[in-house]
Structure 1
Amino acid sequence: MEKRGTAQAQLGQFAEAIDSWDKALEFKSDDREIWYNRGLALVNLKRLEEAIASWDKTVQLQPDNTEAWYNKAVALKKLKRYAEAIASYDKIIALKPDDPNLYYQKACVYAQEKQADYQKNSPEAQATSATNAIENLKKAIELDPKKYLKMCKNDSKLHTIQKDVRFFALFQGKQ
């Protein structure tokens, strides 16, 4: 059933793949690869909550599975569950502290959180989110200046902080 699910997923038959993996999990409920792949298929069907639950099971079985943590963080961000997405990025960063993309993605979550805080009319929370976004951008730039300086300037996900003086300071003396 596991291989059948994989073949079905490769053919884009995600619902069928999930059914096959669910049957396989009846016999191998601790198979982290099945749980992980099940999460990927669920995302393709736009069933994010279920995908997150599958990745929760994956990281319960394999706490250092950075791909599961990453996909979970992305799904949580799409659902606007920013605090949980940030917590997932923190787990990955603890495992891969030298990966600039993780800090960058975490900064993007904080920037989106700032927009949500603005809509809630919460200036203090906006300031905290902006500060956290900029701190994570600093770390990404420190690890890979060429790539992340360019990305920062052009990424619309960061629009909520791009007028912040601290954002401009990231570029001083680095161009």
Structure 2
Amino acid sequence: MLRWLRPFPGNFLRIARVHPRRECLGPVVSRTRDLDTFRSARRWATSVTPHSTASDPAEAEALRCLEQGTTKLEEGDVEAAKELYRRSTEIKRNASSLFNLGVTHYHLKEFDEAIAAWKESIALQPSSPDAHTNLASAYIVSPVARPDLALHHLRIASSLSPEDPEIAFNLAAVLEATGHLEEAVEYYEHSKKHGVERASMHIRNVSAKILGKRMQAAKEPDSDSSSGSS
């Protein structure tokens, strides 16, 4: 069972998501759901990088380790999965094995290592919204949180996958937490429009915060006038 983390009060970032395996040109990603509310999935890959071939013995062995690692991860044996993914990267470094290695580091709370793996995965495959999303999660939950970098990578993920409602929700959550309330509402609304019903509550809450700020701002000139007259 995948774990879910709570980076900010009242908001959850996607940590992992998994689909049934299927072959394609790029990494296969899939979804899973947990039972708790306000939980989104992180992702891992199950295929090799584009244009790869199993005719190369080294690449075939790297792919075997990648697939075995994914099986271990699905079984919940994160340590075994990590070693298999590490072995895969040592044989043939590619975006998929680095991506999945980052997932295991994340589950083991080895956030610096997860960040390093996902950054290298992005360097090899910069068009992966999942890698940017996961990297954002790591920046949020690491001991020295970097919401600015999380926001940067979620914006990239959103630009790469603009119709993804979970990315929109996560971006809205970080925008809300960093005080960008109006923009947060926009992304919550986008998320709700594309099927994330829990966004409705956040839209109400953030709208109330915006209204409260406006009311407070409207009162401040009156307070200044009162102070001046006395």
Normalised to the residue count of structure 1, the TM-score between the two structures is 0.70
Aligned residues: 146
Question: 1:166 deviation in Å?
Answer: 7.3
Higher helix proportion (structure 1 or 2): 1
> What is the alpha-carbon distance in structure 1 between the residues aligned to residue 149 and residue 96 of structure 2?
23
Match of 1:26 among 90, 101, 106: 90
Q: Which runs of 5+ in 1 are unaligned?
A: 114-128, 169-175
> What is the alpha-carbon distance in structure 2 between the residues aligned to residue 111 and residue 18 of structure 1?
34
Match of 1:5 among 69, 77, 80: 69
Identity rate of aligned residues, in percent? 23
Match of 2:152 among 83, 87, 91: 87
1:32-64 residue CA offsets vs partner (Å, 9 max, x unmatched) = 111111111112111122112111111111111
Matched, 1:164 2:164: no
Q: Which runs of 5+ in 2 are unaligned?
A: 1-64, 215-230
Normalised to the residue count of structure 2, the TM-score between the two structures is 0.55
CA contact (8 A) 1:140 1:148 kept: no
Bigger Cα Rg: 2
CA contact (8 A) 1:107 1:137 kept: yes
**Pair 144,107 (structure 1): closer, same or farther in 2 beyond 3 Å:** closer
Match of 1:133 among 155, 170, 181: 181
Match of 1:40 among 80, 97, 103: 103
Moved over 4 A (4+): none
Q: Secondary structure at the match of 2:209?
A: coil
